C-alpha cells in the first residue's frame, strides 16, 4: 500500500453543507503506470470524487494520501507538481496563444514572480504540444480553436505540468468520436510510457473497457467497485450501476466485448 502513488483511507466524499455524503469509506489506490477510468451514472459523484482526490474539495471524512503525504498538508506548489487536472469548465483566455496557455502548466516549476521561462520550460511545453499533436496550433489564439482543439490544449497544459498523477474529468465529452479515441490512446500512452498515472471519468463505456487498466464504477448508492475491464464484463455491477440504461444495449455491448476476449 505504501508504494501507491495515491491512496485513500476511509474516504467519504460530499459537501458538508448537503448533510449526506455521496460515497462512504472508500479505500482506493492508484499506482504509477495505471490508466484508471471512473464510470458511473450522472449525479453519482464522479466529479466530487475527482475534485476530492486532487484537493480542490475537502474530504467529508477520511484522508487522501499522495506520494506518502497527506494531501491536505501539502503546500499548493508541491501539490501542483504532483497532480495536474483537466476540468470540464469552459476556459476563456482572450488573446492568449496556445503556447501561452500550455506554458501556464509550468507555473509550479517557475520560482519567483519575475521568472522567465527557462530552456527546460520551453522543452517541456514543446514536448507537451507534441504529445497531443498540436504543434501546429502553437501560435494560434486559444479563443479561435474548436472545442475539441481546446480540450487538447488543456490536456497539453496538464502534461507540461509534469504531474505524477493526471486527473481528467470527462475529457472525451463534447468531442467527436475520432478525438475521443485519440484522447484515450494518449491517456494510455501517458500512463504506460511515463512514470505517471492517469485517472479519468468518462461516459464512454466501450472505450473505457478497451483502454483502462482498472475501472472504478461508482453507482448511485455511493458504492464504488474496482475491476479490471474483463472482471467488470463478467460481473453484474454494470447493470446495477446503470439500472435505467437500455438493458439490451448494455447486454449487447458486453456480449460484444466478451466475444472479442474469447477471440483474442
Partner 1 sequence: MNKRTQLLWILLAIALLFAFSAVLLFGSVRIPPGQIWQAIWGQPLTDEKWRVIVWQIRLPRAITAVLAGTALGVSGLQMQTLFRNALADPFVLGINAGASFGVALFVLAVSGAFGAQLGALTWGSSLGMAIAAAIGGGLVLLVVLALSQRLSPVTLLLIGLMVSYITGAGVSILLHFAMPERTQAYINWSFGNFGGVTTRQLQVMTPLVVLPLVGSLRLAKPLNALLLGQDYAQTLGVPVQRLRRELVVLTALLSGTITAFCGPIGFVGLAVPHIARNLFRTADHTLLLPACCLIGAILALVADIIAQLPASQYTLPLNAVTALIGAPIVLSVLLKLGIRE
Residues that bind partner 1 (CB under 8 A): 54-56, 76-81, 83-85, 87, 89, 91-96, 100-101, 104-105, 107-108, 110, 113, 115, 161
Exposure class string for 212-238: b at 16+ Cβ within 10 A, else e:
bbbbbbbbbebbbbbbebeebbeeebb
Residues found in the chain = 264
Shortest approach of partner 1 to residue 221 CB, angstroms?
28
Shortest approach of partner 1 to residue 55 CB, angstroms?
8
Helices (H) and strands (E) in the chain, counts: 10, 11
Shortest approach of partner 1 to residue 197 CB, angstroms?
16
Q: Which is nearer to partner 1, 98 or 215 (CB)?
A: 98
3-state secondary structure of 250: helix
Q: Which is nearer to partner 1, 6 or 84 (CB)?
A: 84
Distance of CA 155 to the CA centre of its chain: 10
Cell numbers that stand for 110 in this block: 517557475
Return the closest-CA partner of residue 187 out of 176, 170, 203. 170
Q: Which is nearer to partner 1, 25 or 88 (CB)?
A: 88
Q: Which is nearer to partner 1, 141 or 174 (CB)?
A: 141
Q: Which is nearer to partner 1, 113 or 262 (CB)?
A: 113
Shortest approach of partner 1 to residue 76 CB, angstroms?
4
**3-state class percentages of the chain: helix first, strand second, coil last, to nearest 5:** 45, 20, 35
Shortest approach of partner 1 to residue 18 CB, angstroms?
15
Q: Which is nearer to partner 1, 169 or 219 (CB)?
A: 169
Shortest approach of partner 1 to residue 182 CB, angstroms?
22
Torsion of CA 202, 208, 209, 213, to 10 degrees: -120
3-state secondary structure of 117: coil
Amino acid at each position: 500500500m505504501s508504494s501507491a502513488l495515491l491512496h485513500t483511507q476511509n474516504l467519504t466524499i460530499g459537501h458538508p453543507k448537503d448533510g449526506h455524503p455521496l460515497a462512504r469509506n472508500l479505500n482506493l489506490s492508484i499506482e504509477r503506470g495505471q490508466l484508471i477510468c471512473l464510470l458511473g451514472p450522472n449525479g453519482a459523484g464522479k466529479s466530487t470524487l475527482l475534485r476530492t482526490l486532487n484537493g480542490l474539495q475537502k474530504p467529508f471524512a477520511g484522508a487522501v494520501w499522495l506520494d506518502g503525504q497527506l494531501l491536505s498538508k501539502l503546500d499548493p506548489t508541491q501539490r501542483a507538481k504532483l497532480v495536474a487536472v483537466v476540468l470540464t469548465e469552459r476556459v476563456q483566455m482572450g488573446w492568449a496563444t496556445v503556447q501561452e496557455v500550455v506554458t501556464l502548466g509550468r507555473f509550479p516549476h517557475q520560482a519567483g514572480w519575475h521568472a522567465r521561462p527557462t530552456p527546460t520550460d520551453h522543452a517541456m511545453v514543446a514536448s507537451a504540444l507534441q504529445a497531443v499533436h498540436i504543434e501546429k496550433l502553437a501560435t494560434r489564439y486559444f479563443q479561435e480553436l474548436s472545442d475539441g482543439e481546446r480540450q487538447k490544449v488543456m490536456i497539453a497544459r496538464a502534461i507540461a505540468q509534469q504531474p505524477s498523477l493526471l486527473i481528467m474529468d470527462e475529457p472525451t465529452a463534447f468531442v467527436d468520436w475520432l478525438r475521443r479515441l485519440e484522447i484515450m490512446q494518449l491517456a494510455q500512452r501517458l500512463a504506460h510510457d511515463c512514470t505517471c498515472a492517469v485517472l479519468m471519468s468518462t461516459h464512454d463505456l466501450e472505450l473505457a473497457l478497451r483502454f483502462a487498466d482498472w475501472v472504478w464504477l461508482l453507482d448511485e448508492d455511493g458504492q464504488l467497485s474496482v475491476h479490471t475491464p474483463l472482471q467488470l464484463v463478467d460481473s453484474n455491477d454494470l447493470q446495477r450501476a446503470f439500472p435505467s440504461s437500455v438493458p439490451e444495449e448494455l447486454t449487447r455491448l458486453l456480449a460484444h466485448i466478451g466475444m472479442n476476449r474469447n477471440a483474442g
